[in-house]
Amino acid sequence: MAHQADARRMLDDRGYTGQTIHDTNPAHLLEKAVRDRIIDSYYWKEQCFGINEATLCDRAVDMTFIGGTYGQQKPTPFLCLMLKLLQLLPPREIVLEYLHQREFKYLTALAAFYVRLTFSSVDVYKTLEPLLEDYRKLRRRTKDGGYALVYLDQFVDDLLTKERVCGTSLRKLPARQVLEDLDQLEERVSPLSEELEGLDDSDDNERNGTTNGHDEESDSG
């Protein structure tokens, strides 16, 4: 099955008949203002036209930062590729391949964002929590056009806890505890907490505080 090189069908608000995610046109998981900025952008027109699940990788590996919009509301390639993914709706196995390949960290970040937008709540936790141990560095484009350093685990933590990330209001995610109480999620045992317990037992206090090499503060706009 092929898809249309342009996104007219997806962007047609009145006559959308395609697959829905969370009971809505997938494109609507991004905000209207952002969507309009994206389809007006040169990057979208030049780089996102005619790409499929494989050639999207060409673009993804060229990304050098994540983020929402910056400067004069210019959307990042990160957001443009997100809209493209929402148009393509790749099968789960391909999304997980994007997420778990180890060579291209911005592709991992893109897939994590996509998972947060499209997967079910339980699935979001199950799929993204393992990435809380991924400490690779990312650059984030800030609203004023500058850059900020963010670690992949921080970005994923933002996706799990914040309401707005990368210029996008996220669908409400039930607290982990709620899903645990409903027996939909197992209690999470992070390798970090195991390590911390291990530290309590051992006499070696020198390593204390080095397990989490950076502090929590971050500011996703």
Partner 1 sequence: MADSKSNAYGTNTSDTSFRKTWDKAEYTEKARAREAQEREEGKARYEAKLQGKKYYKSSDTTTAKQTESRANRLNVAANVGKTMLVPAGVAAVGKRGRGAGFYCADCDLTFKDNIQLVDHLNSKQHLTNVGESGEVGRATLEEVRARLEYLKQKREEDRKELNLVDLQERIKRREDEEETKREEKRRKRREKRRKTEGGVGHNVEEDEESGIIC
> HSE of 159 in the Cβ direction (CA atoms, 13 Å)?
27
Question: Rounded to an integer, what distance in angstroms lies between the CA atom of residue 158 and that of residue 219?
Answer: 9
Answer for which of 1, 15, 213, 215 binds partner 1 (CB under 8 A) is: 1
Minimum CB distance to partner 1 smaller for 4 or for 212: 4
Q: Which residues contact 107 (CB under 8 A, 6 or more apart)?
A: 57, 60, 61, 63, 98, 101
The verdict on 153 binding partner 1 (CB under 8 A) reads no
Tokens in use for 55?
């050639």
The verdict on 104 binding partner 1 (CB under 8 A) reads yes
Minimum CB distance to partner 1 smaller for 21 or for 94: 94
Q: What is the DSSP string of 116-176?
A: HHHS-HHHHHHHHGGGGG---EEEEE-TTS-EEEEEHHHHHHHHHH-SEETTEEPPP---H
Answer for which of 17, 71, 72, 103 binds partner 1 (CB under 8 A) is: 103
Residue 3: CB minimum distance to partner 1, A: 5
Minimum CB distance to partner 1 smaller for 45 or for 164: 45
The verdict on 183 binding partner 1 (CB under 8 A) reads no
Residue 103: CB minimum distance to partner 1, A: 5
Site string for partner 1, 73-102 (x = CB under 8 A): ---------------x--x-xx--xx--x-
CB 124 within 8 A of CB 115: yes
Residues 31-50 that bind partner 1 (CB under 8 A): 42, 45-47, 49-50
Q: Look at phi and psi of residue 216 and say left if phi exceeds 0, alpha if psi is from -120 to 50, else beta.
A: alpha
Point out which residues bind partner 1 (CB under 8 A).
1-6, 42, 45-47, 49-55, 57-58, 61, 88, 91, 93-94, 97-98, 101, 103-104
